[in-house]
Amino acid sequence: MPAGALHPVVHGVSRRGLRRLLPEGPWQWAAVAVAALVLLPLASLCWTALQGGQEGLWSHVARYVLPGAARNTLALLVGVGALVVAIGTGAAWLVTAFDFPGRRTVAWALLLPLAVPTYIVAFAYLDLLHPLGPVQGLVRDLLGYDSPRDFRLPDIRGLAGCIVLLGFVLYPYVYLTTRAMFMTQAAGLLDAARTLGATPAQVFRRVALPLARPAIAVGTALALMEVLNDIGASEFLGVQTMTVAVYTTWVTRSDLPGAAQIALAMLAIVVALLALERHARRRQRYAAGERPRPMRPRRLRGGAAALALALGLFPVLVGFLLPAGYLAWEAFERVVQHGVSPQLLASAGNTVGVAAAATVVTLAAGLVLGWSMRLAQGRRRTAGALLALRGGSLGYAVPGTVLAIGLLLPLAWFDDAANVVLAAAGMTPKMLLMGSAAALVLAYAVRFMAIAAGGIEAGLARIPPSLDQAAASLGHAPGATLRRIHLPLLRPALAAAALLVFVDAMKELPATLLLRPLNFETLATWLYAEASRGTYEEGAVAALLIVAVGLLPVVLLARTGVRYGRERMS
């Protein structure tokens, strides 16, 4: 065959490969644009880091700040990881393998710490365990001491206190995933182990725990990403982490490239955590087959039942009841004596407004991502659709501080381009996105895109493809099919995704601290400022409002978990 005869074949192959790489249709192009919006801050972060920090400041940070911050961060990750695995796995096995009075209440109450952000728990315990606070005062009264100089408990500030507090707040991530795994494990495997003479402890250690390892790894990775995102708790407790180093390097030392370089190091840790989660899930198909019969919990009575109840309620007491109860009392006293501050009401209004706007934008973008994947499933999953889904899901894994650093340059580029147009039109140039509430909305949308896209994609998966085929046979375009058929069926999924995005946007602190406009406070930044000044009474009302709103998705999760548990046991 002549050499020239190969050209049409090669040309055809290259054209087919190019078509597979490119998105198909306007919906996939829109999905790729959404994914590009999520990936843009990461590309901007790399560009900013390559600019090089201020020589004197960066050498100081690299020599004296970064090594200690890296050690503290790694120690915090290891300590919190061990604690959430111990508490979350133990609690999941307790409410799954044993039956005792109050078990159902304990099963959903173990989710309550999810309603309390880490910085609020640190805020509450700093005042609760202060040398002049109620706990140490009660202990001194019981022991007969009159002054804090005579007796005081160890200071909660420090790495150990930060590990304990974060562990008791973040264990529900492991509890949720591991309990779901325990509930779906085949009872036959556990029964076989018992018939071979294994004790209950051996059944747990040698059968149930190895099978649940992927779920434990997934929950631990989620909890550790929350540790990396935290800035309030670690700063309140005096722990210099990499997140705090990013904030101080930018805000205090005005070294944006240096902050971007530290942020890139944090991003490398995030990638390692995601790789761990993927590695844990790679063999998650080894119990396939017929639907497993759930195990029957072992009935406990007497002292054993009381001990199980106490063990189940202890994490709830430390992670939710004590801080939330103390905040409720402090907020009540503050409101009764001084009323509600007008500035606090303004902060609450700002919080609701920005969170609501971010929810609308995030749901719209998530709907584009989910619907584009739905259309691709009917034909072939092109690289464009897969890229859109993967790229749109990256934002939640990126800490808010890192995301804020990455957004600065794109926001500045947009404002510069807009000002050129305004100047050409004879209008006064001004900052349109930088330093505005729109920057916060964009940051929240990028950060929580994965929540909306995942919820919508799960809702679309429950809708039979035959409805799409019927609509297409009647001549409906994809947009009309989405509007007239899928949106009404997606209302529960959209409502759940909107609730989760709204609550997470209200609680978000790192990105809000770095991107908020001047003299613009949200409940989270109001609390941060009051805690930094040591005026805990002023911040208690804001903290209680955030906790109250944070209870909404926890109630939703609890109801879903209870319904699922009843279905499994029926």
The pLDDT assigned to 458 comes to 78
Q: Is the dihedral of CA 217, 218, 223, 225 positive or negative?
A: positive
The domain in which residue 377 lies consists of 26-43+340-534
Instruction: Determine the pLDDT at residue 11.
Output: 47
Residue 84 predicted with pLDDT over 90: yes
Torsion of the alpha carbons at 556, 170, 180 and 395, rounded to the nearest 10: 80
Q: What are phi and psi of 533, to 5 degrees?
A: -85, -10
- Of 452, 447, 483, which Cα lies nearest the Cα of 366? 452
Residue 191 lies in a domain: yes
381 and 509 in a common domain? yes
Looking at the fold, whether 324 and 386 belong to one and the same domain comes out as no
Name the band, by pLDDT with cuts 50, 70 and 90, for residue 271: confident
Regarding whether 236 and 145 lie in a shared domain, the answer is: yes
Instruction: Determine what percent of the chain is predicted with pLDDT higher than 70.
Output: 82
Task: Give residues with Cβ within 8 angstroms of 289, minimum separation 6.
Answer: none
Please tell me whether residues 231 and 88 are part of one structural domain: yes
Higher pLDDT, 191 or 436: 436
- Per the model's pLDDT, the better-predicted residue between 35 and 236 turns out to be 236
Q: Does residue 562 surpass a pLDDT of 50?
A: no
Contact 111, 95 (CB under 8 A): no
89, 174 contact by CB (below 8 A): yes
Q: Are residues 223 and 365 in the same domain?
A: no
Helix/strand/coil for 155 = coil
Nearest to 43 by CA among 267, 270, 247, 255: 267
508 φ/ψ angles, rounded to the nearest 5 degrees:
-65, 125
The reply to whether 143 falls in a domain is yes
Q: In this predicted model, what pLDDT tens digit does every residue of 145-161 receive, in sequence order? A: 877 777 777 888 899 99
pTM for the whole structure: 0.81
Residue 349 sits in the same domain as residue 330: no
In this prediction, residue 63 has a pLDDT band, given cuts at 50, 70 and 90, of confident
Q: What is the dihedral of CA 77, 82, 88, 90, to 10 degrees?
A: 180
Q: Which helix (H) or strand (E) holds 98?
A: strand 98-99
Average pLDDT over residues 249-263: 79
The continuous run of DSSP H or E covering 180 comes out as helix 159-184
Look at residue 331 and tell me whether its pLDDT is greater than 70.
yes
Please tell me whether residues 34 and 111 are part of one structural domain.
no
CATH (domain of 213): 1.10.3720.10
Residue 57: the pLDDT is 58
Whether 226 and 370 map to the same domain: the answer is: no
Least confident of 52-66, 255-269, 306-320: 52-66
CA dihedral (305, 311, 316, 322) in degrees, to 10, reads: 110
In a domain, 557, yes or no: no
Is the model's pLDDT at 351 over the cut of 50?
Answer: yes
**Together in a domain, 234 and 373:** no
Confidence (pLDDT) at 283: 54
- Among 537, 529, 525, 120, smallest CA distance to 336 is for 537
pLDDT value of residue 367: 87
**pLDDT for residue 119 is more than 50:** yes
Q: Which residue has the higher pLDDT, 19 or 446?
A: 446
Highest mean pLDDT among 164-173, 252-261, 361-370, 427-436: 164-173
Q: For residues 443 and 406, give the distance between their C-alpha atoms in angstroms, rounded to a whole number.
A: 10
What was the pLDDT predicted at 284?
52
DSSP string for 185-205: S-HHHHHHHHHTT--HHHHII
Alpha carbons 394 and 290: distance in angstroms, whole number:
34
Does residue 248 belong to any structural domain of this protein? no
Cα 6 to the chain's mean position, in Å?
53
In terms of domains, do 408 and 367 share one? yes
Per-residue pLDDT tens over the stretch 487-510: 888 888 888 888 888 988 998 988
Tell me the pLDDT of the chain averaged across its residues.
Answer: 80
Residue 384, pLDDT above cutoff 60: no
Report d(CA 473, CA 80) in Å as an integer.
55
Compare 279 and 398 and report the one with higher pLDDT. Answer: 398
Q: Give me the pLDDT at residue 421, please.
A: 84
- Give kind and range of the element (H or E) at residue 81: helix 66-97
Least confident of 73-87, 116-130, 374-388: 374-388
Query: Higher model confidence: residue 464 or residue 288?
Result: 464
Bridge partners of 298, per DSSP, are 98
Phi, psi of 31 (to 5 degrees): -65, -40
Please check whether residues 320 and 394 belong to one and the same domain.
no
Domain annotation covers residue 518: yes
Residue 228: name the closest of 425, 15, 398 by CA: 398
pLDDT tens column, 134-146: 888 888 888 888 7
Q: How many CB atoms lie within 10 A of CB 47?
A: 14
**pLDDT score at 569:** 41
Together in a domain, 321 and 376: no
| Structural domains of the chain, count | 2
| Domain limit, last residue, from 334, 354, 380 | 334
Structural domain includes residue 506? yes
SS3 99: strand
Give the pLDDT confidence score for residue 391 in this predicted structure: 64
Structure-model confidence comparison of residues 481 and 173, the more confident one:
173
In a domain, 262, yes or no: no
Residue 503 CB-density burial (10 A; 0-12 exposed, 13-18 middle, 19+ buried): buried
Q: Is residue 231 helix, strand or coil? A: coil
- 349 pLDDT above the threshold of 50: yes
User: 525 pLDDT exceeds 70?
Assistant: yes
3-state DSSP call for residue 62? helix
Query: ∠ CA 401-404-275 to the nearest 5 degrees?
Result: 60
pLDDT value at position 387? 61
Band of the pLDDT at 273, cuts 50, 70, 90?
A: confident
- 279 in a structural domain: no
